[in-house]
Amino acid sequence: MAFLTIEKLVKTFGAQTTVKGIDLAVERGEFVTLLGPSGCGKTTILRMIAGFETATSGTIRIDGKDVTNLRPNQRHIGMVFQAYALFPNMSVADNIAFGLKVARKPSAEIAARVKEMLELIKLPDLGDRYPYQLSGGQQQRVALARALAVKPQILLLDEPLSALDAKIRISLREEIRAVQRALGITTIFVTHDQEEALSMSDRICVINEGNIEQLGTPFEIYNYPKTRFVASFVGTLNILNGRVLDSTSGRLSIDDQEVITARGIGGASTGDTLALALRPEALSIGHANGGSNNLTGTIDEVHFLGSVVRIRVRFKDNIVSLDTFNRPHSAPPERGQPVTVNFTREDILVLDRPAI
Amino acid sequence: MKESRLFPWLGVIFGATYFLVPLIATFEFSLRMERGRYSFEAYRIVLADPYFQASFGYSAVIAVCTILVGIALSVPTAYVVQLKLPRLRPVVEFITLLPLVIPAIVIVFGYLRMYNSSSWLPLTSSARGTDLLLTFSYVTLALPYMYRSVDTGLRAIDVRTLTEAAQSLGSSWPRILLTVILPNVRVAVLSGAFLTFAIVIGEFTMASLLNRPAFGPYLQRIGANRAYEPAALAIIAFAITWACMGLINLFAAMGRQTQRR
C-alpha cells in the first residue's frame, strides 16, 4: 500500500470546484511534484494534505491512517512555504527548535537535533542569527531544517524556490533533493516551473483545471505526453496539423508532404486531421540525424541566443522552431533560405485534438 | 522654480504659538508660587501630597489593568478577524470606533444602569467591583486606539503563513498567539499601551461618576481649590503624556529599523 493515498479528493469554494476528484498514491520516500499553471488546484491539494483546507469530499491517508479530518497540528507533516515563514522574533536555532519544543522534547535532544539540522543545511555557525540577517536562500534552508527537525512523516514544499533568484534556485533545488534522498522522506513538491519539476522529481503529477492530466516519471512526461495540455505545458513544443493518409501504417500528410509516425493513430480515419507535436530538439536542418521524415520549407526567422541559434521554418501553413548549437566557424542560415527539416518517425507525438 | 516657503512657515509659527504660548504661560505661572522669584515649590507640594501619590498610583494600576485587558481583548480579536473573518473587518472596525462618537458620560451612565447595586451583576456594590467596572470602561474608551494599533501591526506581518508554519510544527492556537503572533506585534501593542496609559491617567468623567480615587478627579479638585498647584499638575500631566508619545515613536522607530534589516 502506498504511503500517501489520496482518493476522490474534491474541493469546492462556493460554486467553483477547484479540485475535481483527484486520486494519487505516493510511495514511501518518493519525491512527487504537483506541476501545473497558476490556479490549477495544485496548491489547494497540498493545503488539503497539510490540513489547512478542508476537503469537500474524498479521503487522505498517511501510512494507512485517515487524516482527512485531522487538524494541521495533528498530522505530523513538515511544510516549507514560498515566503519562508520563519518566525521573525526567533533566532535560527529557535526557529529550528520550535517544533521540538512544542513536542516537549528534552532540551539536550533539542540542542543536538538543532545542531544536526544546521549541519545538514550547511549553516552550522548561523544558529544565533535572526531571519532578517540571512539571505533568501539561507532563510529557505532554515525553513527546510525547521520542517525536517520534527522528523515529519511527509514533507510538503509549496513553491519554495519561487522567491529566489535564478542561481540560488538551481543550487537550492539540488540541495533539497540531496537532503530528501539522504533522509528518505516522502515529499510532495508544488511548482509551476517545469524545469524544477523535471530535474527534481521521481514522478510528476501534471494538473490542469483541478484534474490530473498525467502522472509519470519526468522522462515519460516529457517524452510521452498523453494529452495536448501536458505536451504544451512541459517543455517547448511545435504543434502541427497533419492529415491521416493511412492509419494502419501511420502515414500522415503535413502541408502536402508525407511523414510517417511510429505512434499508433488507431481510431483515426483516413482524411482526419490530427494535432501532431514535435520537440525542437528532435528536429535538425538537413539530413544530419538520419531520420526517415523530411519536410521542406523556408527559413522564416533566425534568433541568435548565444550558445544556441533558434530557427523558425515555415512549410506552408505550419511553422516549426528548432534549436541548433552556435558554431563560430559556420554562419547561421539566412531568412528565406530553403531548408529540409529532418526527424525520426518516433519523434512525432500524436495529440488528442487537431491544432487550431 | 522654488516655491515661496513664507506661508508654510507662517502656518507653522501660528500653530506653534497657538499650542505653545498657553503651555509656556502655564509653566511660567506654575513657577511663581513664591513671591518675587521662580521656584519649583508648587511641584514640590504637589509631588509631596499623599493624595497625589495615591491617586496617581491608583490610576497607574488601573491603566496597567486596562492595558492587559485591552491586549487580551484586541490581539485575539484582530488576529481572528484577519485570519478567519476578513469580511467582518468593517463591522469590527465600526464597533471599535464607537467609543470615539459616544460620549464617555453616556457610556458610564449605561454601565451604571446595567451594573448598579440592584442589577443582575452588581459591580458597583463593592469597591473592587467598581474598580473592575472602571477598568472595563477604560478598555472601551481606549479600544479605538488599542485595536487599531494591533490591527496595523498584524497587517505588517504575514499572519496566515506564520500561523500555518506554526500549525504544521504541531503548535496549538494559544501557543501560536503567545509565542509567534504577540511577539511580532510587540511594537504595535506597546503603541496602543502607551496611548491607553495616557488616556487613563488624565480621564475624569468615568472615574468621577463611578466615584473612584483616580488622578483625573484629583486634578479637578486641586484645580478648583488651589492657585499654583493646578498649573504644576497640568505640566506634570503633559510631561507624562509626552513621555508616552515619545516612547511610542521610539518603539515604532525600532520596529521600522528591524523590518528594514
Per-residue pLDDT reduced to its tens digit, A23-58: 999 999 999 999 999 999 999 999 999 999 999 999
- Shortest distance between the Cα of A36 and any Cα of chain B, in A, equals 22
- Res B216 pLDDT > 60: yes
At residue A288 the predicted structure's pLDDT band, cuts being 50, 70 and 90, is low
Q: Name the residue among A147, A149, A121, A151 with its Cα closest to residue A134.
A: A121
**Shortest CA distance to B30 belongs to which of B241, B222, B245?**
B222
pTM of this prediction? 0.80
pLDDT band at A236 (very low <50, low <70, confident <90, very high): confident
How many whole angstroms separate alpha carbon A341 and alpha carbon B39?
Answer: 102
Which residues does B contribute to its contact with A (CB < 8 Å)? 157-158, 161-162, 164-172, 175, 180, 183-184, 186, 258-259, 261
Q: What is the pLDDT of chain A when averaged over all its residues?
A: 90
Terminal alpha carbon distance of chain B: 37
- Edge-to-edge order in the sheet of strand A4-13: A16-26, A4-13, A57-62, A65-66
What digits encode the pLDDT tens for the residues B155-173?
999 999 999 999 999 999 9
CA proximity to A279, closest of A195, A223, A217, A337: A223
What's the pLDDT at A141? 92
For the ranges A235-244, B74-83, B244-253, the lowest mean pLDDT is seen at B244-253
Q: Name the residue with higher pLDDT: B3 or A19.
A: A19
How far apart are alpha carbons A302 and A318 in whole angstroms? 17
Q: Determine contact, residues B138/B66, Cβ cutoff 8 Å.
A: yes
Residues of A in contact with B172 (CB under 8 A): 73, 102
Q: Are A147 and B157 a contacting pair at CB < 8 A?
A: no
Sheet of A319-325, strands arranged across = A284-285, A338-343, A293-304, A308-314, A319-325
Q: What is the pLDDT of residue A128?
A: 94
What residues of chain B lie within 8 A of the CB of A103, using their CB?
170
Give the pLDDT of residue A290.
66
Instruction: Quote the pLDDT of residue B222.
Output: 87
Across A8-17, A275-284, B140-149, least confident range: A275-284
Does the pLDDT of residue B100 top 80, yes or no?
yes
Nearest to A103 among B170, B184, B186 (CB): B170
Q: What angle do CA B31, B36, B38 make, to 5 degrees?
A: 25
Shortest distance, CA B89 to any CA of chain A (angstroms): 21
Collect all residues with Cβ–Cβ distance below 8 Å to B219 and sequence separation of at least 6: B202, B204, B230, B233, B234, B237
Measured over the CA atoms of residue A113, residue A114, residue A119 and residue A121, the dihedral's sign is positive
How far apart are alpha carbons A99 and A150 in whole angstroms? 6
pLDDT of residue A157: 95
The predicted complex's ipTM stands at: 0.81
Per-residue model confidence (pLDDT) at position B227: 87
**Mean pLDDT across chain B, nearest whole number?**
89
Grid cell of B182 as nine digits: 504577540
Nearest-angstrom CA–CA distance, A224 and B206: 78
**How much is the pLDDT for A355?**
45
Closest approach of B185 to chain A, Cα-based (Å): 10
Q: Which residues contact A149 (CB under 8 A, 6 or more apart)?
A: A96, A97, A99, A100, A113, A114, A117
Class of domain B43-260: mainly alpha
pLDDT tier at A126, thresholds 50, 70, 90:
very high
Q: Is the pLDDT of residue A107 over 70?
A: yes
**In chain A, whose CA is at the least distance from the CA of B165?**
A85
Check CB contact of A126 with chain B, cutoff 8 Å.
no
Q: Do B258 and A132 touch (CB under 8 A)?
A: yes
For A115-232, where are the E strands, in sequence order? 154-158, 186-191, 203-208, 211-216
Name every residue whose Cβ is closer than 8 Å to that of residue B106 and which is 6 or more positions away in sequence.
Answer: none
Residue B201, CA distances (Å) to B19, B96, B108, B251 in order: 21, 21, 17, 21
Scanning every residue of chain A, which has its alpha carbon at the shortest distance from the alpha carbon of B169?
A: A99
**A residues 236..275 contacting B (CB < 8 A):** none
Strand-strand pairing, A251-254 and A284-285:
unpaired
Question: E-strand spans in chain A?
Answer: 4-13, 16-26, 31-35, 57-62, 65-66, 77-80, 154-158, 186-191, 203-208, 211-216, 238-246, 251-254, 257-260, 273-278, 284-285, 293-304, 308-314, 319-325, 338-343, 349-350
Q: Are A53 and A71 in contact (CB under 8 A)?
A: no
pLDDT at B2 over 60: no
Distance CA A273, CA A270 (A): 9
Angle in degrees, 0-180, between the axes of helices A136-149 and B159-168, rounded to the nearest 10: 40
Q: Which comes out higher in pLDDT, residue A342 or A330?
A: A342
Cell numbers placing A142: 532554515
Amino acid A48: pLDDT: 96
Alpha helices in chain B, H assignment, sequence order: 6-30, 41-48, 50-83, 89-101, 104-115, 127-155, 159-168, 173-175, 182-184, 186-202, 205-209, 215-225, 229-260
Q: How many Å apart are CA A345 and CA A83, to the nearest integer?
A: 46
Confidence (pLDDT) at B73: 95
CA distance B35 to B96: 50
Per-residue model confidence (pLDDT) at position A106: 95
How far is CA A74 from each of CA A52, A70, B123, B169, rounded to the nearest angstrom?
Answer: 12, 6, 43, 9
**A79/B168 CB distance under 8 A:** yes
Q: Report the distance separating Cα A118 and Cα A108, nearest Å.
A: 15
Place A356 in a pLDDT band, splitting at 50, 70 and 90. Answer: very low
Contacts of A99 in chain B (CB under 8 A): 169-171
Give domain limits for chain B.
Answer: 43-260
Interface contact A88, partner B, CB < 8 A: yes
Which is nearest to B208 in space by CA: B126, B108, B124?
B108
Give chain A positions within 8 Å (CB) of B258: 88, 132
Task: Using alpha carbons only, give the angle A7, A13, A14 rounded to the nearest 5 degrees.
Answer: 130
pLDDT for residue A352: 60
Judge: A73–B170 Cβ closer than 8 Å, yes or no. Answer: yes
Cα separation, B47 vs B55, in Å, equals 11
**Cβ-defined contact of B180 to A71 (cutoff 8 Å):** no
| Terminal alpha carbon distance of chain A | 43
Instruction: Determine the Cα–Cα distance for residues A196 and B261; give it in Å rounded to an integer.
Output: 30
